[in-house]
Homo-oligomer: A and B are copies of this chain.
Amino acid sequence: MYICSMYSSELIKGTLKTIVLNLLKDNRKMYGYEITQEVKKMTSDKIQITEGALYPTLHALEKQGDLITEKVYIGKRVRKYYILTDQGKVTMTDRVNEFADFMKTMRFLLDLDSTVQNA
């Protein structure tokens, strides 16, 4: 997963890229460790991204042209900021829309709109 205290690991698979790309929208620049902390904070520890999952994903997104990096030295420590490219913005929008549509489909399929769970 990304170490999830709350969700069974297989549930969350496949959403990491969507989460990362979405966090970087509005020209925000973030570095890896910051992403892990922000997601942990925003989800009240429900989703905790592991470094073993995050860094390869960031490298893949960079390789495919969705992200560019900016190295900054904080004292002697390296920090790699990630920024969305124009292509990355398109990918981000596609991914988020796709996930939103997927949720809609799943809500219908699991009959969730008539239950309490989706409050």
A-to-B contact residues, CB < 8 Å: 6-15, 17-19, 22, 39, 42-43, 46-47, 95-112, 115, 117-118
Contacts and interface: CB of A to CB of B under 8 A. Distances in A.
Max count, chain B CB within 10 A of own CB: residue among A7, A47, A100, A104 = A100
Contacts of A117: 96-97, 100-101
A7 B95 CA distance: 9
A110 B118 contact: no
Nearest to A14: B10
Nearest to A107: B103
Given A11-B14, A13-B13, A13-B14, A19 B109 contact: yes
Say whether chain A's binding surface is mostly helix, strand, loop, or mixed: helix
A39 B109 CA distance: 8
A31 to B, nearest CB: 18
10 contacts: A8-B98, A10-B14, A14-B14, A15-B106, A46-B101, A47-B109, A97-B117, A99-B110, A100-B112, A103-B106
